[in-house]
Amino acid sequence: MAKHHIHAQINGDDVEYLCETEETLLDVLRDTLHLTGSKEGCASGDCGACSVMLDGRLVCSCLVLGCEMHGRTVETIEGMAQGETLHPLQQRFLEHAALQCGICTPGVLVASKALLERNNDPTETEVRYWLAGNLCRCTGYDKIVTAVMDTAAAMRKG
């Protein structure tokens, strides 16, 4: 079976790759395109460490096939900072120590960015339920939630 030849847009760049049918978008990102920022924690959509934006929608890249990506746009953690300028979420995560080991952090950041783009004034409960699909074993979520809400407040101030 010949591989699929896919043209997609990833983090604003036109990208071309080959993949087998059974390869997920996560496999393609990590192993073919060498974008290892998205992580595999479970390969079953239960941990969110592989979170990316697909055509503006927050998804687990382990639950999307690489061959579905023709003509689609993907945003990963690697595209979050603008040149040398960190996204406000990235900056505040550092200031609030909202990460310890850091393995869940790319997924949490992508998911949090998706939230703030939809709702710039979330309550603590809304943040927690939105991020329920992003497992963190180190922080107990406290500083993550604080960092997200603090970023929302700062972004509202403009």
Q: Among residue numbers 32 through 71, which ones bind other proteins (CB under 8 A)?
A: 34-49, 51, 54, 57-60, 62-65, 67-68
Could you say which residues in the range 93-112 bind other proteins, by CB under 8 A? 93-97, 99-106, 109, 111
Using DSSP, state whether 92 is helix, strand or coil.
helix
Q: Does 130 bind other proteins (CB under 8 A)?
A: yes
Q: Does 125 bind other proteins (CB under 8 A)?
A: yes
Rounded distance between C-alpha atoms, residue 132 and residue 108, angstroms: 10
Minimum CB separation of residue 88 from other proteins in Å reads 11
Rounded distance between C-alpha atoms, residue 112 and residue 4, angstroms: 32
Residues with Cβ < 8 Å from 144, sequence gap 6 or more?
A: 93, 98, 99, 108, 112, 131, 136
Nearer to other proteins, 121 or 124 (CB): 124
Please work out the total of residues on this chain that contact other proteins, with binding judged by CB under 8 A.
80
Minimum CB separation of residue 81 from other proteins in Å reads 6
Q: Does 151 bind other proteins (CB under 8 A)?
A: no
Nearer to other proteins, 138 or 156 (CB): 138
Distances (CA, A) of 12 to 8, 40, 111, 126, 143: 10, 23, 18, 29, 31
Q: Does 72 bind other proteins (CB under 8 A)?
A: no
**The token pair that represents 109 in the structure block:** 């950041």
